[in-house]
Structure 1
């Protein structure tokens, strides 16, 4: 499961590099400086991530049905690399093995194609996620970045991100053997991943998990912070062992520092509604 997550991370970085060449930014001086450095978007009113107050979310169960994932999610994918782009660990899935990795329904308009997965994580076992729920930050967060056919037009809602918060208890079973093949690597370096199925990362057959999520309209969480994203935050977390969590922290930044704490601070909701796909919320 975890190795698939790593695969997605690579795409998000490549997405930015294609659309915004030579854009320079970092987490070194905090993320609030982005509102000055990239004020056109990063100082907008629909920014991400956010803190989700579960008791203030609105019941939209009738409008937020379960997602439909294509059969390709259960097939092995090969010939993919885990890349350190200097800001995150990412895996690009664009055109991988000609698999049709599509997602639909779940309140989305039309069909989206899974393009990339990337990771946000901290240095300790209590902070690292971008989104928080009831003011609680998780150790890590995994983003499945999906694009629609009209993404290049830059329209709101044409980029959909499925977000999975990650917990790393000390006694969890180790499930992501792929991490055993990863060693410290510099910005721009890649490491080849063994074949894997995306269904080994996310519990597609667990309806209790997959049908419970939050939904809101927001932005990319890195510059230029474009407000074009339909966000889905799954209510229940994924679990990895603490040893596996530490293996996430193998990358180095362009300055040779340890690649950790790559998350943006939560942003004001500014009147936006946060919807939930179930009538009541009971987090695990």
Structure 2
């Protein structure tokens, strides 16, 4: 009888946890009524206990070189338009209405950008989702794309490679990143969850590193990092970082979660790699070969002139 009672009690507890809205570890407390990461896998339609989950810790010495991972082609990333930036209660998100495209880099087709969002710590403390050799950066940007033939995220999630996400790390700088001033200024108007603000004349290229620095990246097959954790994402995580100052990072820490608590540490812990492989781009090898060829030609010319 007692065993049956405790089973019912446990089932009731789990149901209350999994019926509630999902949340991050930083939101958990004795009085919180939300589904923390340890229960995400119990939520309906969840893939959060799958074998190909994200984020991961990228161990560089265990990555495999893939010379076919050529530079990602960015199409219409330079287009300027009005951004609507929103505190969605879990992050800052900007929906992208005009659909810039990415291709190349062993992507099988064109992918259309639909939104970007960020994950951060608090006042510059570690907050990225992915880590590299155990290092966690203060913030991480995710630009989410879906295959061009799909119209919605939910439709694309049904395809094992339906989404392609570009991930960028931020690194602390002494000076403000002027490209981010419009964003950090807009954050003052979206402190509360559900609030929106507009930013005129912004481009995607202005918030990422210069395109010529984007030749080095990591590639693996993974998932969304929030429920339902669909395992349908081709991840591209770049080595080149985005500079940002402490004062700019602090503006993100002033935002609030849906429950009214400070919006901080909104990242999922790294997940097991399991049998997956992480590949690194071969662009550095290509560039090295070009440099070697140029040096050889130069030496040949010099020798011929001296002769």
- TM-score scaled by length of structure 2: 0.76
CA distance in 2 between partners of 1:236 and 1:250 (Å): 27
Corresponding residue pairs, total: 250
The residue aligned with 2:118 is: 119
Q: Give ranges in structure 1 of 5+ residues lacking alignment.
A: 1-21
Distance 1:113 1:39, change over 3 A: closer
- Residues 1:217 and 1:235: Cα distance change in structure 2 (over 3 Å): same
Answer 1 or 2: higher relative contact order, Cα 8 Å, separation at least 6.
1
CA positional deviation for 1:24: 1.9
Measured after TM superposition, the shift of residue 269 of structure 1 is 0.3
2:187 is the counterpart of 1:182: yes
Of residues 23, 26, 49, the one that matches 1:26 is 23
Structure 2: how far apart are the matches of 1:220 and 1:53?
Answer: 20
- Deviation for aligned residue 1:279: 7.2
Does 2:96 match 1:93? yes
The more displaced of 179-188 and 112-121 is 179-188
In structure 1, the residue matched to 2:86 is: 83
Aligned counterpart for 1:69 among listed residues 74, 81, 99: 74
Identify which of 216, 220, 223 aligns with 1:219: 223
| Distance 1:77-1:106 versus aligned 2 partners, 3 A rule | same
Structure 2 portions without partners, runs of 5+ = 1-18, 29-35, 286-307
Q: State the distance in 2 between where 1:24 and 1:40 align.
A: 13
Change (3 A) 1:255 1:173: closer
CA separation in 2, counterparts of 1:201 and 1:222?
23
2:63 maps to which of 57, 64, 83: 57
The Cα of 1:42 is off from its aligned counterpart by 0.5
CA RMSD of aligned residues (A): 2.0
Local SS of the residue matching 1:216:
strand
Aligned equivalents of 2:123, 2:278: Cα separation in 1: 29
Which of the residues 268, 275, 280 maps onto 2:272?
268
Question: Structure 1 residues 124 and 157 mapped into 2: Cα distance closer, same or farther (>3 Å)?
Answer: same
Alignment of 1:156-175 (within 5 A): 156-169=160-173, 171-175=174-178
> Please, which moves more after superposition, 48-57 or 26-35?
26-35
Secondary structure of the residue aligned to 1:240 is strand
Are 2:167 and 2:238, in contact at CA under 8 Å, matched by a contact in 1?
A: yes
Deviations 1:146-179 (A, max 9, x none): 011246151111100000011123x134322212
Task: Using structure 1 for the length normalisation, give the TM-score.
Answer: 0.82
CA distance in 1, matches of 2:79, 2:278: 33
CA contact 1:126–1:137 (8 Å) conserved in 2: no
Change (3 A) 1:218 1:100: closer
SS in 1 for 2:54: coil
- The structure with more radius of gyration: 2
